[in-house]
Every structure is written in structure tokens, then in C-alpha cells.
A and B are shown apart, each in its own frame.
Chain A
Amino acid sequence: MAIQRHSFVRSGDSPPAPRPFAQGPDGQVDVRRTVDPQSPPTPWEVLGLPLRLDLDLPAVELRVRGLIRALHPDRFHVLGAQAAADAERHTALVNDAWRTLREPERRVAWLVDHQGQTVTALPPAVALQLFERNEQIDEALADPVSHADVAVALRAEIRAERMQVHADLAVACARHDAAVQAADPAATQGALAEMGRLLAMAPALDNLLARLG
């Protein structure tokens, strides 16, 4: 495993096998660990996964199910309120980690927010283009008949750019994973910066597409 800052799950790479409860809570999962609020575990750590953006989602989902089975508070109720409350918090963290990782854009956004730099402003050229396009859309909406062709062309153009953002994100993700693998912090930060820039573009393009209907 590449990064294991907080060993939330002490198992190796395979999910803990569910055991009948009569044998006691699953020995592979430490439910008494308290999560440090100042540095909570990453979604990857919670699920015991190496830090990679390219995930085998069906395999991760199986792992999530295994963890939920092992950690669910209902299994710890008999051990008392404290054990159940701990299990509750850990199950909640597993659910939260899965929610973050199951959607690619949310997964990338989490990593950018927590290990890179969140981008809130668009580059001036992009912002200017955005402004121009919004004006074009205003005109097209004001007079739909004579501007029908403009709207069609604009929509096709923006859709293509949106798809390009997806493709560029995939490339940046691959660069990120390779940089982490090679333990190259500069390349990792470079990939994160690129992903931040691309993520900032996505909502602007989505908004234009929504306006075009």
C-alpha cells in the first residue's frame, strides 16, 4: 500500500472475511480507534486502499460491503453502548468514503481539495470567453428563430469541450497515480494543479449547456 498514514483497517489488501458473530467482533478491524479530528483518514485509508484515482469500482464495492458487514453497529450492540457508538461512527466513515470514491469527479475533487489547491477563479482568457459565450446565448434566446444555427453550433462546441475536460481529467489522473507510485511529490502536485484547473472548468461549461437547454 502506497500511503497508510492512519492504519484505519489493519488488514492487507483483501477485505476482512465476514465471520459469524458468535466468535466475537472481527479481529481484523480495530473499532476502538478514535479518529483524530485534526487529521481524519482519507477515503482511501478508510477503505484500506492504496491512493489511486483509477479504481476498480466493483472490487471496491465488494470491499465496502465486507467492511460494513464487519463494522455495522448492529453487530456491536451486545457489547455495550460505547462499542456500538464506535461502530456507528466507523460504519458512517465507510459509507462516506464510498460516497466520495464511487463518482470519479467527486473522487478527484476530494483529492484536489485536501492534498492540492482548490481552484476557484478561472484563467482570464477562459473567463473572457465565458462572458462572450453568455452574450451569444442571450442573443440566441432573445431571438430563437434567426439564431437557431448559432445555438446548435454553440451547443456542439461546448459539449465537445466538456468531453475534452473528461478526457484531460483521465490523463491527469493517470499522471497523478504514476507520480504517487514513483514517490515524486513535484509531479504529484503538478497533476493535482492540472486537475484543479479542469474541475473549475466543468461547472462553467455545465452552466452554459443548461442555459442552451
Chain B
Amino acid sequence: MAITFGASAPARNDPAVGIDLGTTNSLVAVVDADGLPRVLHGPDGYLVPSVVAFDAGGEAVAVGRPADARVTVDPAHTLYSVKRLMGKDAAEVASELKLLPYSVVAQPGSAAVRVRVGARDYTPPELSAIVLRELKLRAEAALGCAVRRAVITVPAYFNDAQRQATKDAGRLAGLEVLRIVNEPTAAALAYGLDRRPERRIAVYDFGGGTFDISILYLHAGLTEVLATHGDTRLGGDDIDHALVSVAVGQLRAAGVDLAEDAAALQGVRKAMIELKIALSSAQFAQVLVPLPGRAAVQFALDRAQFEAIAAPIVDRTLTSCQQALRDAGLQPGDLDEVVLVGGSTRIPLVRERVATLFGRAPHCELDPDCVVALGAAVQADILTTGRRDQLLLDVMPLSLGMETMGGAVAKILHRNSPIPATATEEFTTSVDNQTGVVVHVVQGDRELVADCRSLARFVIPIAPLPAGLARVAVTFLVDANGILHVTARDVRTGLEKSIEVQPSYGLTDAEVEAMLVAAFDNAEQDVARRLFVDARTEAETLIAATERQLAGPAGARLDADEQADIAACVASLRASFGSGQSEVVRAAQRELNEATVHLAELGFATAIDELAHSAAAEALLARGPDPASAKPQHHA
């Protein structure tokens, strides 16, 4: 038998991955044969910005980092923070959209909210599915086999509709969603790997768009959630928005009004994010804010000023923490550890406030960006291999109830009940000879229906009887994904009606099926199209750089033949776009690259001439030209 040296270990059969589908970034992880989880890397690292770029026709053309690069160039066709729209109704989406530059449309015959991009409309699950599909492709490339199954994480405080929307997104991406897991719980699972003896921990998860706090009890392989609280509309994004408003206000005071300029606002947003990140390590930072058609403006902030802007947002997280502790029946001193998750926990102010509240320095040994995906991978391993003596016992974040007389809510399952959970309550009629009872299911912790979220409304037929004599038993079952199933039964006739709760503004099963069929029809075309678009984008950048150099002093030093040769190559590269095929574009691009070698050398020499008297130039000349920089283009 021949031994092949250097061959990688055979891929595990049908691996199940863990996916952290974030507001800002997403990533995918898997548990290896040795039982340890690891994050899967793509060509540009492991974090995939949750951004999708579209062309004017509304077709998705780039996902992740290349799409993120287009946010400032083409804001109208580049979508980010889609997670903020998941499972929301039209009014909620409209309020989110005050902060995001997209437009929302209603489609006749469908309750689902759609976002208009170019000539096409997308539901939030479809947009998330594009990001998930990218993660699936990455995982397949890294593992060398098909990936069909995944555990996807959601903020613990996500409601039923948001969980359903996330599950739909997974299905649309061609994934069997094994489980929807709460992000802080997943994080605890990742931290629980070292199997220390029993302890109580708090997981403080402050991400790009959501905040969650969970109190957990870890003992003997059980990861048991005691209480959870949070805010699905509070995240690092809000700090960015606060900084942007400050910057826009200052610019307006200086006579520059950006309010209507989407591209410029995106430029400001990117600059403010850069500033925020810099201030996590420095006491003082400044950025250049690019302004269209005029000189960039310097914007500077010190740590104290930044903290004054961020403090109100950070303080909102602390109220949630106190509530979660109360629900768990614990004092801050009862906790053994505090774990930080999410990019926003890199902010020193956040760490300070958390340390003060809990009276101990928080843990951050695991990369806060990775820990959720690692935990999701562990959960996928638990579900698919049966080899781990580990169990995750989670709770439901919000109470579930039914509308009763006068618009009051009869709570059937209280928040922080362990899931899977079930409860049955009997109701009766208030009018003689009623032939049906309306079961209106709501989610939330307020006493009135109007203050809770309506999840579903259905009618159960009953035998007509005098008021108060009919008996309807309503059973709620919340599955391990946190998704509700309701059964109502006329106790006297045994007549039963069962539904999986589908939020009125969510996608129906038929809609998801139709989208799936369309996605499979287009799958092959999609891949080819995407390769082509990548190649074209790269080629356009090359052409722009070449033309800039041709027009400059370096171009003037080329002879006429060389100039004509380059111009011809540029023309044929442009013409190759018409083919729609990535290979044709790549071939033409290679020719242009060869034709511009001399131009690149001249460009380099010219640059050095210009720098002749600077120290940098002397250093460069002493070292000699770097062969890698002798090309006008450097593509990874």
C-alpha cells in the first residue's frame, strides 16, 4: 500500500459547523477530530464582514471584505447590519432604517418586509442567507468537503420571529439548521471546555448591534443558563452613530452639510469606527474624514471625550445586567467569573464599568470575536457525534402568553424558564354559544397585549355552550431552538388545532420553498457570475491605476510604441468584460500586466526622483527597489 506523504488528513464525513452570524462580522468554526474547536480561515482572514454589495440590477456581486470596501463607494447598493432587520415588522424596520441608508418596500400578497436594492427586493433572511452561503463556501474550501449542517447563533434576547428568520436564512443558504443557540451560552460552552469544577459565570456579550447578559451555572458537564436579559437594539453601532452625529454637527457648524450625502456619511462612519478602535488603545486619536469635492477634514478626540459620548450607551447595558442578576437570585459577589464577548468589549470604558458592577476583573482570554463561533461548533459536535458528555440547558428570554378579556395577557410560560418548556392552561368562553375561540399568542413581559409582540392569532372551533362552560386547553411547547409551537384543544370534543407559530410578518413555508427553488436554479450561474464580477472589479482597478500613471510623468517617459501597446491592452481588457467570463478577463489582465512592467519601473523611479531630498528616499535608494513593488498592481 502506498503512503502519500504530506497529504492532509481525510476530511470528516459530513461535518457540522458552528456559525456566528453577527451584525458586523460573521465567522464559521468546526470541531476537529481531536475534539477541539477551531475557527476556519478564508483567504482574507476569519472574519467575514456581514456586508453584501449589489450591482445596479440588484444582483449580489460581492460578500464580506470586498463588499465592505464598497460601502463608501456605492452606499445605495451595499447592505450592512442586516441582522438589525431580522424578524422585524414594517414599523420596526422603518425605525431601524433611520440609521441605515436603505429603502423598504411592501410586496402585495406577502407579509414579509423587503429591502429594495437596485431593481430587486430582498427579505432580511435572504440577505443573511447570502452571508451564510459565503461562510458555507469558506468552510467547504477549508475542510475540502461539502458542508450541509450548521448550528447558528442568535442573541439570547432574540424573540420568536427573529429566531424563525434566522432559521429561514439558514435554509435559504442550503444549510440544515441543527440548532439555534444563544450567543452568550455558546460563549460559555467555549469557555467551559477546560472543565473546571462548578462555578457561576456571567457572560457579557456586547456586539455590533445587540447586547446580551447571561448568568450561567456550570457543573459536571452541564452548562445551565439561570437567567438572561438584553437589548436587541443596542450595540457598538450605536456608539458609531453617536460619533457620526457629533462629527456631522461639527462639520455643519463649519458650513459643510452632509445630511443628504449618503456616500459622504458612509465615509464619516468608517472614519469614526477607525477613531473608536484607535481610542481603545490610545488616549488620543485623530482621523482624516474624506469629503467629496473638497479637502479631507481632520477630526480628533481624546479618550475622555469619547467616553462622554459612549457612556450613556454603555450604561444601558448595566441595567440589563442588574435585572439578570435579580432574575437568577444572585448577588454580584456570588459570581465566580465574568466573561466578555463581542467586539465592543474591547472598549476600555466597557471593561471598567463591567469590572465595577461585578466587583471583579472580567475574563478575556479567548478572542471576543471568535468565542461564540467556537461554542457553536462545540454544540454542533454535541448534536452530531454523541461523543461529548456535555449538555447545554438554556432558557427562554421572554415570557409567552395569551390575550384574555380586556386586552390583558395571561402568561403561560415565564421568561427564564428552561427550554424545552411546555405548559398547558385551560380557558373558557365569555359569551353564550360561542362557536370558536380566538387564540392570540403574544411574547413579552408587559401586562397588556398592546405592549407585547403579537406572534400569532388563530381560531379553534368549539361546540356551542353557555358562557363559562366551554373548556379550551392551550398547550405551549418551546423547543430547544426557543421556537414556539402551540396546540389548542376543545376539552369536551377533543377537537385539536396545532400550529408552529409563524410571525404574521415573517416568511411562510411556501415563500421559503419558492426562494430555495430559485436559489438552486441560480446556484451554478451564481458562482460563475461571482468569479466574473471579482475578476472585473480587479481589472477595473488595474486599468484606473495604469491610466493614472500613463497620464503622469512616468507615462511621458515611455516611447510611442510602448504607449500604443499599453493602450491596446487596456482596450482589449475593457472589451473582455463583454464576454461575461472570468477566464477571458483574467487572460486580458495578464497581458496588460506584462505590457506595463516598464511603465511600473519608470513610475517607481519617478517617485524616487520626487522624493530625492527626503530621508525616506535615501532609505529606499540604499535598499534598492523592492521587486514586489515594481508592478503597478499587487493582488493577493
Instruction: State the A residues within 8 Å of B (CB).
Output: 20-22, 37-38, 40, 65, 68-69, 72-75, 77-78, 88-89, 91-93, 95-96, 99
| 16 residue pairs from A and B, CB less than 8 Å apart | A20-B389, A22-B386, A22-B387, A73-B480, A74-B179, A74-B379, A74-B382, A78-B385, A78-B386, A88-B420, A88-B480, A89-B420, A89-B422, A95-B417, A96-B421, A96-B422
B286 interface contact, C-beta 8 A: no
CA distance A20 to B386 in the complex (A): 9
The bracket for how many chain B residues form the interface is 20 to 34
Chain B 363-392 interface mask (CB, 8 Å, partner A; 1/0): 000000000000000010011111101011
Shortest Cβ distance from B408 into chain A, in angstroms?
A: 16
Contacts of A91 in B (CB 8 A): 420
Residues of B within 8 A of A40 (CB): 424
Check A74–B384 contact: CB distance below 8 A.
Answer: no
A72 & B423 in contact (Cβ 8 Å cutoff): no
In the complex, whether B235 has a CB less than 8 A from a CB of chain A is no
Q: Is the CB of A93 within 8 A of B391?
A: no
Smallest CB gap from B414: residue in A = A99
Report whether A77 and B384 are in contact in the complex, using a CB–CB cutoff of 8 Å. yes
CB distance A68 to B480 under 8 Å?
no
B526 contacts the other chain (CB 8 A): no
Is there contact, CB below 8 Å, between B478 and A75? no
* Residue numbers in A under 8 Å from B418 (CB-CB): 95
Q: Which residue of B lies closest to A90 (CB)?
A: B420
Tell me, in angstroms, the Cα distance from A138 to B104 when the chains sit together.
54
Tell yes or no: B516 within 8 A of A by CB: no
Known: A37-B489, A72-B393. A92 touches B386 (CB 8 A): no
**What is the chain B residue whose CB lies nearest that of A79?**
B386
- Sample of 7 more A-B contacts, CB < 8 Å, known A88-B420, A95-B421: A37-B496, A68-B393, A74-B382, A77-B178, A89-B420, A92-B420, A92-B477
A-side contacts of B489, CB under 8 Å:
37
Give the 4 A-B CB pairs with smallest separation, nearest first.
A92-B422, A92-B420, A77-B383, A21-B386
* Minimal beta-carbon separation of B216 from chain A (angstroms): 15
Q: Contacts A21-B386, A74-B383 given: A88-B391 contact, CB under 8 Å?
A: no
Shortest C-beta distance, B392 to chain A (Å), equals 7
Q: What's the nearest-Cβ distance from chain B to residue A51, in Å? A: 19
B494 within 8 Å of A (CB atoms): yes
The complex places the Cα of A95 from the Cα of B393 at a distance, in Å, of 11
* Whole-angstrom distance between the Cβ of A43 and the nearest chain B Cβ: 11
For A38, A74, A75, A78, the residue with the greatest tally of chain B CB atoms inside 10 Å of its CB is A74
B7 to chain A: closest CB distance in Å? Answer: 29
Quick one: closest A residue to B496, CB to CB? A37
A99 touches B417 (CB 8 A): yes
A72 to chain B, nearest CB (A): 5
Binary interface encoding of chain B residues 51-63 relative to chain A, with 1 for a CB under 8 A from any of its CBs, else 0: 0000000000000
Give chain A nearest CB distance to B598 CB in angstroms. Answer: 63
Q: Complex: how many Å from CA A89 to CA B423?
A: 11
Interface residues of B in 459-508 (CB under 8 A from A): 477-480, 489, 494, 496
Nearest CB in chain A: distance from B501 CB, A: 15
**Shortest distance from the beta carbon of B396 to any chain A beta carbon, whole Å:** 10
| Given known A-B contacts A37-B496, A96-B421, A74 and B392 have beta carbons under 8 A apart | yes
Q: Kindly state whether residue B617 has any CB partner on chain A within 8 Å.
A: no
Q: Are B387 and A96 in contact (CB under 8 A)?
A: no
**A88: which of B387, B423, B424, B479 is its contact (CB, 8 Å)?**
B479
Contact of A93 among B383, B417, B422, B480 (CB under 8 A): B422
Smallest CB-CB separation from A40: which chain B residue? B424
What chain A residues lie within 8 Å of B178 (beta carbons)? 77
Q: Which residues of A contact B383 (CB under 8 A)?
A: 74, 77-78
